[in-house]
Amino acid sequence: MKFNKAAICAVILLILCVFLIAFFCIIAFSTSYGYSVQNNKNSSPVGNFDVTSRITVIIDAGHGGIDPGAVANNLVEKDINLAVAKKLKDFLSLSGYNVLLTREEDVALCDANKSSYKRDDLERRLSLVETTDNCVFVSIHMNKFELESAGGLQTFYSPNNSESLKLAECIQTASKVLDPNNKRAVKSDDGNIFILKNTFKPAVLVECGFLSNPNDAANLSDPVYQNKLAYVLYAGIINYLGE
């Protein structure tokens, strides 16, 4: 069977186009949201971890059950915390990390009959951190303030372990992809965040935005934005761990 020159050229061009499309899809995925995840085995971790050992990332979806957390603009903090935490878990699990969620559904980790149920809830979360070897702790929260203009993600860190600051800085830096104009910086816990005050493990709490800010609220209620948020948190964590 004979093929004319035009037909052969058309086939070659088609094959070339398929390869180019595949190539650019891979590049787009690896640089999704402006952050490229490096898999260079020779890269040095930011954190002081033995990357050959099994690291557990504890993801804390703040509040839950009878404790709704912040409520504003028809949004309930506990629900968004859990949605983002689950997405973050998926990213980390796909990268081979052992991941624990403090909760996987809308429940409080406490005895609801206790008058001090909030304290009981926090103590149980802290206990999980303290009894888990070789772990880092990332707590997911949403903020609220009386001024609607207040907005932006901010990462708080435990002052009890120098690694916490490194982890916080990695997450805060990665978050610039979502909002390059966010001027908020990492901040040491001043003793008001129970788990950060009492743990000596690398630990941070991320206030992912303000439910009281209309723009933040619109973003945080959007599942697509939640995916992006979970991805930049993931990017910050693995940058800290040296992947």
* Statement: residue 47 has pLDDT above 80: no
Q: Measure the N-to-C terminal CA separation of the chain; round to a whole number of Å.
A: 53
Query: What pLDDT score was predicted for residue 8?
Result: 54
Query: What pLDDT score was predicted for residue 6?
Result: 57
Query: What pLDDT score was predicted for residue 116?
Result: 82
List the structure tokens of 210: 């303000």
- Residue 132 has, within 13 A of its CA and on its CB side, a CA count of 24
* Statement: residue 43 has pLDDT above 50: no
Name the band, by pLDDT with cuts 50, 70 and 90, for residue 4: low
Q: Strand ranges (DSSP E) for the chain?
A: 56-61, 71-72, 75-76, 98-101, 135-143, 154-157, 187-188, 203-210
Query: What pLDDT score was predicted for residue 111?
Result: 77
Query: For residues 173 and 44, which has the higher predicted lDDT (pLDDT)?
Result: 173
Q: What is the pLDDT of residues 77-114, one digit of tens each?
A: 999 999 999 999 999 999 999 999 999 999 999 877 77
d(CA 103, CA 194): 17
Query: What pLDDT score was predicted for residue 54?
Result: 82
**Is domain 41-241 annotated with CATH 3.40.630.40?**
yes
Name the band, by pLDDT with cuts 50, 70 and 90, for residue 32: very low
Which amino acid, residue 166? K
| Beta-bridge mates of residue 143 | 210
Residue extents of the structural domains in the chain: 1-30, 41-241
Query: What pLDDT score was predicted for residue 42?
Result: 37
User: CA separation (Å) from 164 to 172, 196, 199?
Assistant: 12, 9, 11
Supply the pTM of this predicted model. Answer: 0.80
Query: What pLDDT score was predicted for residue 14?
Result: 54
The rounded percent of the chain whose pLDDT value lies above 70 is: 77
Find the range with the poorest average confidence among 14-28, 103-117, 181-195, 209-223. 14-28
Find the range with the poorest average confidence among 41-55, 92-106, 182-196, 210-224. 41-55
The rounded percent of the chain whose pLDDT value lies above 90 is: 73
* Statement: residue 230 has pLDDT above 80: yes
Q: What is the pLDDT of residues 129-157, one digit of tens each?
A: 999 999 999 999 999 999 999 999 999 99
| Beta-bridge mates of residue 140 | 61, 206
Query: For residues 196 and 18, which has the higher predicted lDDT (pLDDT)?
Result: 196
* Statement: residue 37 has pLDDT above 50: no
Query: For residues 101 and 22, which has the higher predicted lDDT (pLDDT)?
Result: 101
